[in-house]
Structure 1
Amino acid sequence: MARAVTLIRSASLSDVADYAYAATAPADARLVFLAGSCPLNEDGSTAAVGDYAGQAAKAFDNMRTALADAGASLEDVISTRVLVASSQQKDLVTAWDVVRAGFGDHDAPSTLLGVTVLGYHDQLVEIEAVAAVLDA
């Protein structure tokens, strides 16, 4: 299946970040804007209370489901924003490591943010995504 997303790496910028700095999609691609994927179980309860990695994994799984429901997959993601309710860099990195590993070789541009609080009780992680799809 042809993909709309082209990841762009820059030799002019730091190589410390191990993901693409930019991505493009052609004008005929259908854009999919996901609401923030939260670490919620089917019954609405918060998964993995107190566990940054566990919540990142659940939010990632929920994002993958939302993408599939929109006719997209992880390889169609053009950018993400990962929100972590913590002022500790180690907590942000813990969540990021899970998200990064989930994408594998598709290292779409992403922003990692520490925030004060998220919307659900006991929520520590949320993942926003935009995807670009070439429909048949």
Structure 2
Amino acid sequence: MPTAVTLIRSPSLAGSVEYAYAATAPADARLIFLAGACPLDREGATVGAGDYAAQAEQCVANLRTALDEAGAGLHDVVSTRVLVASTRQADLVTAWRVVREAFGDHDSPSTLLGVTVLGYDAQLVEIEAVAAVRD
């Protein structure tokens, strides 16, 4: 399925061969703004307490569900913001690896942030996203 999103890589920026620093969506695309995907199960309980990778996996699963219900998929994501409740870079990298693997070749622009606290008890990871589709 063709995507409305075009990833842009710049040979002038570090890592541009393996990372898109920008993305565009055409004027006729429907934009989808997703709330932060949290590591919650169907009952609303936080999954993977203390485990950055497990929480990132649950966030990606919930993001996929929200995208699907909006008529989109990961390949339609224009950009993401990955929030990780930690001051340790290694924890951020752990969460990022899970997200990066889930997106595969569709390496949409993303910002990875360490934050002090997130909204749910024991929550360590949250993923925000914007997607674009043509109906």
TM-score calculated relative to the size of structure 1: 0.97
Pair 1:108-2:95 in alignment: no
Cα pair 1:81 1:129 within 8 Å, conserved = yes
Give the RMSD, CA atoms, in angstroms: 1.1
Percent identity (aligned)? 71
* Structure 1 SS opposite 2:60: helix
Q: CA deviation at 1:15?
A: 1.7
For 2:102 and 2:84, locate their aligned partners in 1 and report how far apart those are by CA, in whole Å: 17
- Give unmatched runs, 5+ long, in structure 1: none
- Count of paired positions: 135
The 5 Å alignment of 1:64-83 reads: 64-83=64-83
The 5 Å alignment of 1:23-62 reads: 23-62=23-62
* Superposed structure 1 runs of 4+ greater than 6 Å apart: none
- Give unmatched runs, 5+ long, in structure 2: none
Cα pair 1:60 1:102 within 8 Å, conserved = yes
* Structure 2 SS opposite 1:84: strand
Cα pair 1:80 1:110 within 8 Å, conserved = yes
Deviates more, 1:72-81 or 1:1-10: 1-10
Q: Residue 19 of structure 1 aligns with which residue?
A: 19
* Structure 2 SS opposite 1:121: coil
